[in-house]
Structure 1
């Protein structure tokens, strides 16, 4: 979208089954989501929250993080950069909430974390299937890693979500192998 046509991207008439590029993007995302979810098969809530490496990461926390990332970027597609906030002005409380994305908190369950992820996936898939154009774009919000004036299209956002999901599925595979020797990708 240009500055003159900047508005929230909204779905049009739902497409029964995305085809072409949309189908390819959604298939790639589903593939990596599946690997990430697979790392939690047959685990208890306690195991999903356990740190098994020198990292702070746990399986439930990784899924929470990927859920949050996907939700935020889909909000960006629909509503623009304001929903992502200004990373240059994060407060201590903002950083604490961000860190809590990577761990299972008291009262959280693996089933609940997986259901939240499935809901975000359904929302993303529906939006991608119904948007009028994958070239719709918004400017990126202020952040140390964004070039000033940069814009991302829906397509670019989807590629980012796929990359983020794939990267964390690999992390999850290592954590699961460290937990009980099970492998998802090997």
Structure 2
């Protein structure tokens, strides 16, 4: 049984994780948010875009199950082609996923942060209203993920979102410190 206290705790922990990530972008220009100051291709704006998208996808999973997160391939393209990098065509979801990690010319840090705030509000609504956090859904088929075929509770998916947000906040700390010496507080 899910209690209001459990829901409040999940919402609070997710808010703390988001704050850790968002704090790394405080005071930055769009140019700084798009900079890649390490040997990695990661940038702060891209991390925010990715985490917002990831949270949105997992919260859809909580409500709708694995049908909400699909990895369809173009006709005639196989996972072997995709994983080998030899596909004649790549699915749009894969292209969109790659584009999440970079600031596109039309992106602004303010708009990315606003979208993340919208996602956060919807997530809080879902956490408050999903009937049972113990409901299980099978994970979507994804050949790069060893967990394919497992079942996760809504609670586990939410814990995964929290963990991934904190993980990316750590990446963001490194990027910000490399960018201008600013350290997380």
After TM superposition, the score normalised by the length of structure 2 is 0.85
Displacement, 1:98?
Answer: 1.3
Match of residue 42 from structure 2: 57
* 1:127 corresponding residue in structure 2: 126
Q: Unaligned 5+ residue runs, structure 2?
A: 73-77, 83-88
Size of the aligned set, in residue pairs, is 168
1:24-69 superposed Cα distances (whole Å, 9 cap, x missing partner): 1111111110010000011111110000101010000000000000
Deviations 1:153-181 (A, max 9, x none): 11000010001100000000100000100
Aligned to 2:160: 160
Q: What does 1:18-167 correspond to in 2, within 5 Å?
A: 19-86=4-71, 89=79, 92-93=90-91, 94-144=93-143, 145-167=145-167
Corresponding position of 2:177:
177
Q: Assess, with a 3 A threshold, how the Cα gap between structure 1 residues 146 and 81 changes in structure 2: closer, same or farther.
A: farther
Give the Cα separation in 2 of the matches to 1:83 and 1:55: 30
Question: Which segments of 5 or more consecutive residues in structure 1 lack a partner in the other structure?
Answer: 1-17
Question: Displacement, 1:148?
Answer: 4.8
In structure 1, C-alpha distance between the alignment counterparts of 2:94 and 2:133, rounded to whole Å:
32
The answer to whether the 8 A contact 2:63-2:130 is kept is no
Q: Is the 8 A contact 1:140 1:146 kept in 2?
A: no
Q: Could you tell me how far 1:140 is from its partner in structure 2? A: 0.8
TM-score, with length taken from structure 1 = 0.84
Rounded Cα–Cα distance in structure 1 between residues aligned with 2:26 and 2:148: 42
Q: Secondary structure at the match of 2:35?
A: coil
